[in-house]
């Protein structure tokens, strides 16, 4: 409900900004796939992703974030969409989210 309430008010420009923000985070992850998921830069990207979801869609607490991370690899539709950026990205983000949620 929260997501529908928020997104129903977005303009075309809002959606462009949201897409640009998510693209920047995804490409940030891609640029750091050579690092361990525990690396500070990778963990900062997870926090940025969590904030992105909370800002634009719904309050994304750690429990929800953890579930999303699992869904990114369990649901092939999510994996396919995320891996457009680079093969293995969905798994990398999922692993980074797991680390983030377990080590806060």
Q: Give me the residues of the chain with pLDDT under 70, please.
A: none
Residue 10: what pLDDT? Answer: 97
Q: How many degrees, rounded to 5, is the angle at CA 10 between CA 70 and CA 1? A: 50
- DSSP label of 39: S
Query: What confidence score (pLDDT) does residue 87 get?
Result: 98
Burial class (CB in 10 A: 0-12, 13-18, 19+), 39: middle
pLDDT in the model for residue 1? 85
């Amino acid at each position: 409900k929260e997501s529908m309430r928020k997104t129903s008010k977005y303009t075309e420009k809002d959606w462009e900004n949201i897409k640009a923000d998510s693209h920047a985070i995804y490409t940030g992850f891609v640029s750091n796939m050579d690092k361990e998921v525990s690396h500070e830069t990778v963990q900062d990207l997870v926090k940025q992703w969590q904030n992105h979801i909370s800002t634009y869609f719904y309050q994304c607490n750690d429990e929800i974030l953890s579930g999303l991370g699992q869904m990114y690899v369990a649901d092939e539709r999510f994996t396919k969409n995320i891996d457009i950026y680079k093969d293995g990205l969905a798994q990398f983000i999922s692993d980074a989210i797991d680390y983030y949620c377990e080590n806060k």
